[in-house]
Amino acid sequence: MKKIFFIILCSLSFYQFANAQDKLLNFGVKTAVGMSDFSISGNHGINTDTRQSWEGGIMLRANIPVLPIYTQIEANYTNAGSTLSYNDVEQELITNRVEVPILLGARFSLGEIAVRGFGGVIAQKTVRDNLADFDSNLELNDFGWGWQAGVGADIKKFTVDLKYQRGANIITGSNSIESNQYLLSVGYFIW
């Protein structure tokens, strides 16, 4: 039984090695749509509701030879927000950010399809927001770190991901406003 398991493991490793050798680096473009909202600490009677979000950008994936592991770095422009309600008044809070996810993933290939799981950190820089419309006393924290985790599949040069993203705190001080996003992305590797 141990010999059979060892032979299967060696065969899978050799297949991964042969498959990865001709594709050590992949570069492509991607876009995503999803839903976002904000988590507000201390709540203060403020209710949040989800709204549509989107992102688009480029990606560079490095496949690690022999192992079914890869790293991926992206550069995305993201629009996220939420509808906030307080005392029967509704206000949309929207942020536009440049994000750089740094991800580590594992994949398992069967023929033309590779199934993946991944996670990592995201550097986020807010480039535009309407925070002053909501409360002029809030001070923007325009750079921070978030995280992301998800699953995906690769079919030839196409990639599809379903991921959850928790953003950085966008205000300074003792309270916090953090974005949450569920995104479905589609990408294409140019090379």
- Per residue of the chain (191 residues), what is the pLDDT tens digit? 666 655 555 555 544 444 444 478 999 999 999 999 887 776 566 777 888 999 999 999 999 888 899 999 999 999 988 887 777 777 788 888 899 999 999 999 888 899 999 999 999 988 887 766 666 666 667 788 999 999 999 998 999 999 999 987 766 666 677 888 999 999 999 98
Q: Report the distance separating Cα 85 and Cα 101, nearest Å.
A: 31
Is the pTM higher than 0.75? Answer: yes
pLDDT for 13 equals: 53
User: According to the model, what pLDDT value does residue 21 have?
Assistant: 40
State residue 49's pLDDT score. Answer: 81
The pLDDT assigned to 25 comes to: 92
